[in-house]
């Protein structure tokens, strides 16, 4: 992941292990992984770059679709890469190489990858524009970049912008000050700015109605943001509930009901 001003918990080995455990038990991540693989349009012989590979949770199913290709996983958080290596005995990822590096300064020559993907990580990057530019640089002509990321709804007015500011501030406490959720339209705009032809722009809405946030990616911090917004002006709370979810407590349980959106944007280098 691109270097933040303040290092996130992803640089802590125990946090990395807990992150991997949660990811392994998330049905939402599993479903979105299939969407990502579909969007990559793999034939089986591609060289694929997984930017911000983390513990290899997305690289693993992608690698299984390659009979003569390979996945190169890059991440700046050594703790995440270390957890990926720890798992190699029981959950070996075939055709997978990993190395430390920065999304904003990829250590590769231009035009060497058939596919590049960034899954659940764009919101961590210090400079998303530079990350997309670098991804385009290392792609072959005709290659494809896919970004899968949780997104906020497109801001309609100052109220939405204020909510986004609070949400990002809450997440930033744990993930570093550069943390920022984008809208699907903003991600598509990044592609167009860097001269990638947008071949696919999907928004997947995931609904939930359950006790607690277990299984919902980034759910715990979203609940913290909702609790903070509840203490703000009533119109902020109402708009948040319209856009995302509402919650209420019963005894020691917190029930949540609503939805999150995940954007899958694919661009081709022409």
Q: Quick one: pLDDT at residue 86? A: 74
Q: Measured in Å, how far apart are the chain's first and last C-alpha atoms? A: 26
- What percentage of the chain carries pLDDT values higher than 70? 89
Distance CA 41, CA 12 (A): 34
Q: Looking at residue 45, what is its pLDDT?
A: 97
Three-state DSSP class for 48? Answer: strand
Residue 173 lies in a domain: no
| Residue 226 resides in a domain | no
Residue identified by tokens 């694929």 is 48
Could you give the number of structural domains in the chain? 1
pLDDT 10s digits, 98-122: 999 999 999 999 999 999 999 999 9
3-state secondary structure labels for all residues of 188-230: HHHHHHCCEEEEEEEEEEEEEEEECCCCCCCHHHHHHHHHHHH
Name the residue range of residue 61's domain.
9-153+179-209+257-269
In a domain, 159, yes or no: no
- Contact at 8 Å (CB) between 244 and 19? no
Q: What is the pLDDT of residues 189-224, one digit of tens each?
A: 999 999 999 999 999 999 999 999 888 888 889 999
- The enclosing domain of 90 has a CATH number of 3.40.50.150
**What is the predicted pLDDT for the residue at 168?**
96
Containing 18, the helix (H) or strand (E) segment is helix 13-24
pLDDT at 83 over 80: no
């Amino acid at each position: 992941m691109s270097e933040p001003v303040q290092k996130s918990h992803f640089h802590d080995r125990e946090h990395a292990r807990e992150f991997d455990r949660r990811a392994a038990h998330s049905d939402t991540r599993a479903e979105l992984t299939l969407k990502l693989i579909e969007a990559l349009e793999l034939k089986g012989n591609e060289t694929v770059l997984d930017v911000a590979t983390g513990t290899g949770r997305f690289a693993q199913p992608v690698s299984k679709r390659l009979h003569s290709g390979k996945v190169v996983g890059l991440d700046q958080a050594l703790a995440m890469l270390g957890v990926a290596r720890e798992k190699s005995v029981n959950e070996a990822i075939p055709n997978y190489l990993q190395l430390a590096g920065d999304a904003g300064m990829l250590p590769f020559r231009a035009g060497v990858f058939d596919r590049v993907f960034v899954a659940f990580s764009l919101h961590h990057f210090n400079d998303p524009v530079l990350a997309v530019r670098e991804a385009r640089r290392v792609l072959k002509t005709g290659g494809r970049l896919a970004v899968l990321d949780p997104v906020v709804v497109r801001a309609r007015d100052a109220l939405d912008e204020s909510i986004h500011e609070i949400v990002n501030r809450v997440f930033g406490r744990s993930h570093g000050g550069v943390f920022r959720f984008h809208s699907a339209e903003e991600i598509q705009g990044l592609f167009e700015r860097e001269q990638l032809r947008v071949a696919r722009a999907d928004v997947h809405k995931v609904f939930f109605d359950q006790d607690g946030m277990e299984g919902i990616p980034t759910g715990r911090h979203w609940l913290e943001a909702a609790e903070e917004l509840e203490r703000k002006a009533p119109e902020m709370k109402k708009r948040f509930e319209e856009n995302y979810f509402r919650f209420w407590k019963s005894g020691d349980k917190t029930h949540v009901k609503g939805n999150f959106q995940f954007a899958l944007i694919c661009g081709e280098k022409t």
